[in-house]
Structure 1
Amino acid sequence: MPQPVSAPGRHDLVRRQSHEGVAVLTLSRAERHNALVPELLEQLRTEVATVAADPGVRAVVLSADGPSFSTGGDVAAFASREGTELETYARRIVGVLHEAVLDLLALDVPLVVAVQGPVTGGSLGLVLAADVVVAGPRASFAPWYVRVGFSPDGGWTALLPRRVGHARAATWQLTNRTVEVDLAAQWGLVDETADDPRARALEVARDLARMVPGAVTRTKRLMRSDLDDVRRGLDAELEEFVAQIGTDEARAGMQAFLGHRAQEQA
């Protein structure tokens, strides 16, 4: 199994391990279902930059602790803010999420993402950046934007249509459908299923790390989406998100979502 490059501290939100040319990055906010906050995303960017600069890394695995891959932006963090403070926070978290997605897309080595449970909201962008997605039987994908009152971010409009088609991506978001793993595989969002997606993702990454590195890098560069075009799409998502988050309907949606979740946990 991969060995930690440093002893993770209690406050680490992203762990980095390495083994046989494979770097494993793990979202480690399991108590909040790896809900995205700026600090987690900033740590992720730091770790991605570290592995990108390491010539010994020939493949990367992105995984997550706990039962969920990530439930997207932490709604409670948005709901605790108002006015300009809310706008500033929204611009910060969505901005750093989009930079993290672009960092992952720009990797010259293969990225394998392991999805063991729900992926909701903007965290889908971390999956869409993958070259290979390995998902477990409990994996699922859902937008939640039109239900909570947010505008899409994380690549739901900038990246998802490239993966599943424009009409399917639009219908999925407008109906707020939860897509289970088998259907996600049919749509091309998931490349492989496994009972233990994290272990299988590591196996896949090890196989990729054994390929001729120069050929792998050039293949990735040729297949990679136009990052300038992706950035324009993500920038548009950011502006629409910030414009929507301060509306009365978004505030009502957040309160309804948090109230429903509190009832479920009672």
Structure 2
Amino acid sequence: MSALVVVERSGSTAVLRLNRAERHNSLVPELLEALLAALERVEADPEVRAVVLGHAGRSFSTGGDVGAFAAFPPQSAELAQYAQRLLGLLNEAILRLAVLRCPVIAAVEGWLTGGALGLALACDMTVLGEGARIAPYYTVVGFSPDGGWTAMLPQLIGAARSRAIQLENTTLTAGQAAALGMITHLAPSGEAEAMALSLAAGLKDKVPGSVASTRALLRWDAGALAQGLERERVAFVAQVTSAEAAAGMRRFLGGAGAD
């Protein structure tokens, strides 16, 4: 079985790639556990000066794997337990990225949807290929927002815009996401990782103490972020075990979603 997160080195940069491409890198507990293990290795390696968080396949990630949720009996304790576990791991991964000792740059092509958004928002910089798309999908599937859609996004683009995007299930182009301030860099399609690696290489020439101080002053407040993510987890578990979520998953798996 292939590793769910592939770790490579490019000089002093560690490249972590989500590697569940056959499922659009949709999130399951095993993938998030692999990501956390990779981040722990990075944290312990003093030779790593920057991290690029990328992906295999056409999409960065389409968020939680709806098929995995639907495999449990609707409205069951087993479904609730699975959701608790998945969101606990997702929140842990987001928090770990947000406070990692070295800069992290996300490289995104294709779709970035659902709870996977938080993995990108937690990074210091995010590069989107011009063909990338961002969408929530919560009000279509019948889920409650997770992955920082309420705990992080409003701080970047404002509460009103965040509310409208999620209620209307708006799909944002890479250019629109950049204009709103959701991401930091645009790259030609297929070149997001190359640009992220270039940005990472440039950071190693900066004064380490200044980089660390800048990040410490500007990064997410870990305590406040943890509280916001926990609110999302509680609401998600309650909603995913509802009758309307069960119906929404059946509709979604019947033909909607990312290509």
TM-score tier (shorter): over 0.9
Provide the secondary structure at the position in 2 that maps to 1:16: strand
Which amino acid is the alignment partner of residue 42 of structure 1?
A: E
Gaps of 5+ in 2: none
Provide the secondary structure at the position in 1 that maps to 2:150: coil
Summarize deviations over 1:74-94 as a string: whole Å, max 9, x none. Answer: 000000102011000000001
Gaps of 5+ in 1: 1-9
1:118 aligns with 2:111: yes
1:81 maps to which residue?
72
1:25 aligns with 2:25: no
Question: Once the 2 structures are TM-superposed, how far is the Cα of residue 124 of structure 1 from its aligned partner?
Answer: 0.3
Match of 1:207 among 182, 199, 202: 202
Which amino acid is the alignment partner of residue 141 of structure 2?
A: V
Task: Count residues in correspondence.
Answer: 255
Match of 1:173 among 149, 166, 180: 166
Summarize deviations over 1:27-58 as a string: whole Å, max 9, x none. Answer: 01111100000000010001011101211111
1:225 aligns with 2:216: no
TM-score normalised by length of structure 1: 0.93
Paired with 1:106 and 1:191, the residues of 2 have a C-alpha distance of 18
Match of 1:249 among 231, 244, 253: 244
1:54 maps to which residue?
45
Provide the secondary structure at the position in 1 that maps to 2:106: strand
In 2, are the aligned partners of 1:108 and 1:220 still within 8 Å (CA)? Answer: no
Question: Once the 2 structures are TM-superposed, how far is the Cα of residue 234 of structure 1 from its aligned partner?
Answer: 0.4
In 1, are the aligned partners of 2:124 and 2:219 still within 8 Å (CA)? Answer: no
Match of 1:41 among 9, 21, 32: 32
Fraction of identical pairs, as percent: 49
1:16 aligns with 2:11: no
Question: Once the 2 structures are TM-superposed, how far is the Cα of residue 106 of structure 1 from its aligned partner?
Answer: 0.7
Which amino acid is the alignment partner of residue 197 of structure 2?
A: L
Paired with 1:180 and 1:256, the residues of 2 have a C-alpha distance of 25
Provide the secondary structure at the position in 1 that maps to 2:182: coil
Which amino acid is the alignment partner of residue 41 of structure 1?
A: L
Match of 2:253 among 247, 254, 258: 258
Summarize deviations over 1:204-226 as a string: whole Å, max 9, x none. Answer: 11111221112111111111221
1:158 aligns with 2:177: no
1:235 maps to which residue?
230
TM-score normalised by length of structure 2: 0.96
Paired with 2:102 and 2:205, the residues of 1 have a C-alpha distance of 12
Provide the secondary structure at the position in 1 that maps to 2:102: coil
In 1, are the aligned partners of 2:17 and 2:54 still within 8 Å (CA)? Answer: yes
Off by >2 Å, runs of 4+ in structure 1 = none
In 2, are the aligned partners of 1:87 and 1:246 still within 8 Å (CA)? Answer: yes
1:69 maps to which residue?
60
Question: Once the 2 structures are TM-superposed, how far is the Cα of residue 15 of structure 1 from its aligned partner?
Answer: 0.6
Provide the secondary structure at the position in 2 that maps to 1:260: coil
Summarize deviations over 1:225-262 as a string: whole Å, max 9, x none. Answer: 21101000000000000000010000000000001149
Paired with 1:185 and 1:118, the residues of 2 have a C-alpha distance of 15
Paired with 2:35 and 2:155, the residues of 1 have a C-alpha distance of 24
Which amino acid is the alignment partner of residue 204 of structure 2?
A: A
Question: Once the 2 structures are TM-superposed, how far is the Cα of residue 11 of structure 1 from its aligned partner?
Answer: 2.5
Paired with 1:225 and 1:69, the residues of 2 have a C-alpha distance of 22
Summarize deviations over 1:148-203 as a string: whole Å, max 9, x none. Answer: 10000011000111111111111111110000011111001121111211111111
In 2, are the aligned partners of 1:108 and 1:221 still within 8 Å (CA)? Answer: no
